Amino acid sequence: MTSLAGKIAWVTGAGTGIGEAAALALAGAGATVVLTGRRQAPLDDVARRIGQTGTAHVRPADLTRADQVRGVGDYIRATFGRLDILVNNAGVNIVERHWDTLTPESIDTLLQGNLSGALYCVTVALPFMRARKDGLLIHTASMAGRFIGGVSGPIYTVAKHGIVAMSHGLNMQECVNGIRSTVFLPGEVATPILDKRPNPVGPEVRARMVQPADCGDLIRYIACLPKHLVMNEVHLSPTYNRGYVAALQRQL
88 φ/ψ angles, rounded to the nearest 5 degrees = -90, 80
Q: Which of 156, 221, 240, 244 is catalytic?
A: 156
Q: pTM of the entire structure?
A: 0.93
| Angle, helix 212-223 to helix 17-28, in steps of 10 degrees | 50
List of residues 6+ apart from 72 with CB closer than 8 A: 10, 34, 36, 59, 61, 124
**2 falls within a domain:** no
Per-residue pLDDT of the chain (252 residues; tens, 9 = 90+): 679 999 999 999 999 999 999 999 999 999 999 999 999 999 999 999 999 999 999 999 999 999 999 999 999 999 999 999 999 999 999 999 999 999 999 999 999 999 999 999 999 999 999 999 999 999 999 999 999 988 899 999 999 999 999 999 999 999 999 999 999 999 899 887 777 667 777 788 889 999 999 999 999 999 999 999 999 999 999 998 888 888 888 887
User: How high is the pLDDT of residue 80?
Assistant: 98
**26 falls within a domain:** yes
CATH code for position 171: 3.40.50.720
Number of compact structural domains in the chain: 1
**128 falls within a domain:** yes
User: How high is the pLDDT of residue 196?
Assistant: 67
**79 falls within a domain:** yes
**215 falls within a domain:** yes
User: How high is the pLDDT of residue 1?
Assistant: 62
**185 falls within a domain:** yes
What range does the domain containing 17 cover? Answer: 8-251
Instruction: Please report, for residues 52, 194, 196, the alpha-carbon distance to residue 199 in angstroms, rounded to integers and kept in the order given.
Output: 38, 9, 8
CB neighbours of residue 120 within 10 Å: 24
**23 falls within a domain:** yes
List of residues 6+ apart from 59 with CB closer than 8 A: 34, 35, 36, 71, 72, 75
Quick: pLDDT tens for 56-66.
999 999 999 99
Active site residue 156: yes
**63 falls within a domain:** yes
